[in-house]
Amino acid sequence: MSKISKTIKISIRHEEWLKSSKINFSEWVRKKLDEEIDSHFRSNTETKFKAVILAAGKDSNLFPLTEEIPKTMLDIKGKTVLQRQVEMLRQVGIKDIAVVRGYKNHQINYPNLFYFDNENYENTGILVSLFSALEFMDNNTIILYGDILFEIVTLKRLIEEQNENTLVVDRGWKKHYQDSKEKHPLPPELITLSDEGQEININSSGANLSGTNSTSEFIGLAKLSTNACAILNDIYKNLYLPDPNRKFQNSKKIKKSSFVDFIAELLNRKEKVNVLEIWRTWIDIDTFEDYRNAWKFIKK
């Protein structure tokens, strides 16, 4: 058990005192967790991780907002989505950050970042974007989609998590899609967890949302071990390069494969993959409604 987990476990003993003091217990525990994680990261200002931000895709669903810029360059209260992601990564001590570009790649040119281009972004999936950054991924690596926003405590918890390969998943995904007024252009990347959360099954992204038994949605934030990155390289050399049109996991063509297809391959190769569960404390920007909600999500 980590130092943070021990501290929170001890703190929970004060629940009765908190109740008698009319303090919201769940809010108090969350604040305490934030304080402990902040303390941990202040004393460990640099981490051994790298980070890859996947921002190659073209999203015509958000035209005209994204007609001249990639989605990751959308402004939210004076900063782009990408700026906010980079700031959070640097706050937790990650200095080596790469961005995989594609659509309107010349628009993404912040200093002190590494850049890789998926020139065939219109005809390929996220897995091929990952292949573009393979030479950079020689260490434990944080992967994040370029169109998501989340609380920094989630990133801190992901790094603190002792398990090497970890997906951040949302247990509250169904309500989000049920409440959404606009149709999302892409289906969510769904997984099913056992009751104990120990067993992971990767579901087809084309599953019927109303009838699926999926428990969680992968939010687009993950941690990969050095060995997982080596497996990615093996997939590239021995599966993708010989035949980009071959079937791969739930995708009919490997060149169209998603990140969760890669996770399914890791599981098939007996790699251990764990999850970090959250509940709607994030947002992905796929619709105009999402973009409006992103402005509400960001406090400053």
274 has pLDDT over 80: yes
139 has pLDDT over 60: yes
| DSSP conformation letters of 7-34 | HHHHHGGGHHHHHHTT--HHHHHHHHHH
Residue whose entry in the numeric block shows the structure tokens 């569960």? 277
Residue 194, number of CB atoms within 10 A of its CB = 10
10 has pLDDT over 50: no
Question: Which tens digit of pLDDT belongs to each residue from 202-257?
Answer: 665 544 444 456 677 899 999 999 999 999 999 999 999 999 999 999 999 999 99
- Split at pLDDT 50, 70, 90, the class of 8 is very low
- pTM attached to this predicted model: 0.81
CATH topology for the 46-297 domain: Spore Coat Polysaccharide Biosynthesis Protein SpsA; Chain A (3.90.550)
Q: Which amino acid, one-letter code, is at 92?
A: V
CA 216 to chain centre: 13
What is d(CA 248, CA 130) in angstroms, rounded to the nearest whole number? 15
77 has pLDDT over 70: yes
The predicted structure's pLDDT at residue 216: 79
144 has pLDDT over 80: yes
The predicted structure's pLDDT at residue 173: 64
Mean pLDDT calculated for residue range 40-69: 82
| DSSP conformation letters of 36-56 | HHHHHHHS----S-EEEEEE-
The SS3 call for residue 296 is helix
The predicted structure's pLDDT at residue 14: 46
The predicted structure's pLDDT at residue 215: 74
- Of 159 and 32, more confident: 159
Mean pLDDT calculated for residue range 80-104: 98
The predicted structure's pLDDT at residue 194: 56
